[in-house]
Amino acid sequence: MEKMSGKLFLIVGPSGSGKGTVIKALEKKFKGFVYPISYTTRELRAREKDGESYHFISKEKFKRMIAEDDFLEYAIVHSDNYYGTAKKEIVEALKGGAVVVREVDIQGFHAIRKIIPRENLVSIFMKVPNLNDLKGRILMRGEIAPEELQHRLDSAAKELAQAGDCDYQVHNEWGKIKICVAQVEKIILEEIDGLY
């Protein structure tokens, strides 16, 4: 891959660990960063809008995009839904020197690590105290089918076991999301010091 001057921050961690909340807080504070929207084949949740949290597309469209090499990475997450980060937006932003922030599952992180040069990539894993706590958070987000909940908890156990593969780990204790946001901000600001 040709030389890039920007930095891609990957926020990794189980479903319900607070990645979305951290990114929303960053979006509010750091308007100059780039926050790419991924593509998914999962159903919209209540209060979600197409083009806000994701581009919601059919499996057929997703497969066409795979064939056209549109993704930097894609993965099947929690049983049978596809999620993918669009290549062009991220690569262009990094070439232009931007700070890019995106959440991905652990598979996405491993795939991106093989493509994006070491000096342009920082990974931050969000840990949670235990799976019971995580279950509570997922249930609080809205209605979820029991099988889907189980898939998410199974994935969480696997993801937590790989937390050490990321550059940084932050702890999201129940009710202390602000501390977690501050930790992520600090990591980003230290990592981009000198870049701006």
Shortest CB 189 distance to ligand 5GP, Å: 23
Q: Which of residues 155-184 bind ligand 5GP (CB under 6 A)?
A: none
Verify binding: residue 75, ligand 5GP, rule CB under 6 A. Answer: yes
Of 141 and 196, which CB lies nearer to ligand 5GP in the complex structure? 141
Verify binding: residue 85, ligand 5GP, rule CB under 6 A. Answer: yes
Q: Which residue is nearest to ligand 5GP (CB)?
A: 108
**Torsion angle in degrees (nearest 10) through CA of 131, 20, 139, 176:** 60
With contacts defined by CB under 6 A, how many residues of the chain interact with ligand 5GP?
Answer: 15
Q: DSSP label at 133?
A: H
Shortest CB 66 distance to ligand 5GP, Å: 13
Q: Which of 92, 80, 41 is nearest to 62 (CA)?
A: 41
Verify binding: residue 123, ligand 5GP, rule CB under 6 A. Answer: no
Q: Where are the beta strands (DSSP E) in 66-151?
A: 71-77, 81-86, 99-103, 121-127
CA atoms of 174 and 192, how far apart (whole Å):
29
Verify binding: residue 26, ligand 5GP, rule CB under 6 A. Answer: no
Q: Which listed range, 27-35, 73-81, 124-132, 184-192, lies at the site for ligand 5GP (CB under 6 A)?
A: 73-81
Give the N- to C-terminal CA distance of the chain in Å, as an integer.
23
